[in-house]
Amino acid sequence: MSRHRLVPSAALVTLALALGACGPNPESGTWIFTNGEVITNTCNVDEADIAEGNFTLLNNENGSFTIDPEDGTDPFLCTLDGADFICPERLQESTTNFGTTVDLRVEASGFFDSDVFASGRQEATLSCTGDGCGVIAAGLGLDFPCTSVVNFNASFKN
């Protein structure tokens, strides 16, 4: 009995890699972010206070894309796995006054229905460190950390 070692050809490897990367290919350009149903809101945030509007998506063509929120905060990187995406937790805003720091961290995940439409969930967590956290929490009527989880849709504009 002879033994044969199977060595995949370059064409077969290329096909396998292409099949593994199947899924929508999000368009680069301006997108519109629209909030949907609020799932959780322990931060006493009015739904109208959660930002909606335009953002820029840059498809990096390597299984990732970069989002510029167009709100003065830093752009951030998201990864694609087929149609699914995840934008890992990032520090969106930090405010320090009188030795007390309040941080807003945000993460998002979802999927692309097509090259021009996505839906998902965004989770924002507000935390506080320092001696003034009790006063701030009482003033805002919340307990730290608090969380707001919102469904969203995004569609390509141009």
Tens of each residue's pLDDT in the chain, 158 residues? 444 333 343 333 333 334 345 789 999 999 999 988 889 999 886 655 566 789 999 999 999 999 999 888 899 999 999 999 999 999 999 999 888 999 999 999 999 999 999 999 999 999 999 999 999 999 888 999 999 999 999 999 99
Q: Is residue 86 part of a domain?
A: yes
- CA dist., res. 72 & res. 50, Å (int): 15
- What tokens were used for 66? 């970069």
80: its two tokens: 């694609």
Instruction: Evaluate whether residue 13 is within a structural domain.
Output: no
**pTM, full prediction:** 0.78
Does 147 fall in a domain? yes
User: Is 15 part of any domain?
Assistant: no
Number of domains comprising the chain:
1
Domain-located, residue 119: yes
How many C-alpha atoms does 67 have within 13 Å on its Cβ side? Answer: 26
Domain region containing 98? 24-156
Q: Is 1 among the domain residues? A: no
